[in-house]
Amino acid sequence: MAESIAEFVALVSEDHLPDGLETLVVLTFVKPDGDHSYCSRYDFLQHPVFTGIQTLTKEAHEMLRAARAIYIDGYVFDELPSSIVAPALKQAQRAGASVFFDPGPRGSTGQKGPGCTALTAMLDIADVVLLTEEEALAVTGMAKPSAAARAVLERPQGRAQWVVVKLGRAGSWLFTTSQALYQPAFQVEAKDSVGCGDSMAAAMVLGFIHSGCPAATLTLANAVGGVTAMGAGAGRNVARHQQVAVLLQRGIDQADHSGPSASDCQAALDLMSLSGAQGP
């Protein structure tokens, strides 16, 4: 393991990017408690990396205009300046798309310079903002989830309708301008939390654009995150349709005070049917 880490550090310390046939190599460190952190060559480069790009391609603009939802995380701004990303997202919104923003670890590191500009722009643009407790504090300066959500929802130039604060094993909150909804997590045997946030985001997108029901959406997001936590790593190990359905059905059949209600599990199961997912 030590040799692998040493080789990786040497790799990310190089001052060139992989050629066009390679994707970014990211090393994920998982702690015994399931928490994790990432390291990649982008951590050693000046951001944004692709400063030579002045505009998106015609094909990219066409895809954005045709999209119903666009998910953006903070790592996008390691690659592209906000002066390119923000106008493209606004154009997509004018065409009817909803924008979802999860700053991720960059919510903590992007507090000055270009990172701050990008973060500010996204908090104003996004229709839905997803945060962990730590990110909520870093982004808003507010320790309580309700106060952090209010700071986002009440931004003078903002348009956020939902703010989600993820609590890990304790569940999650969903805030609107008129509602604060808490949903407990499903009790699962978790291996690690890698990929849980991105998996939950997929459920939030589905619920927001198809039903707009906060309770069903948050319950489904917790179920997807819980199933993902049962596997090791992300990639092909994230939650599968059938696994989520089984967990929700268990919530219907064996509902108790420590988990989501049977009615919310049923609503989440009904919502999942709108995804059109096939296979396992």
39-48, 49-58, 74-83, 140-149: least confidently modelled range: 39-48
Is 73 strand, coil or helix? strand
Long-range contacts at 165-171 (CB < 8 A, ≥ 24 apart)? 165/131, 165/132, 165/133, 165/136, 166/130, 166/131, 166/132, 166/133, 166/197, 166/200, 166/225, 167/133, 168/132, 168/193, 171/222
Answer whether residue 167 shows pLDDT above 80: yes
Mean pLDDT for 72-84 is 85
pLDDT of residue 216: 95
- The pTM of this model reads 0.83
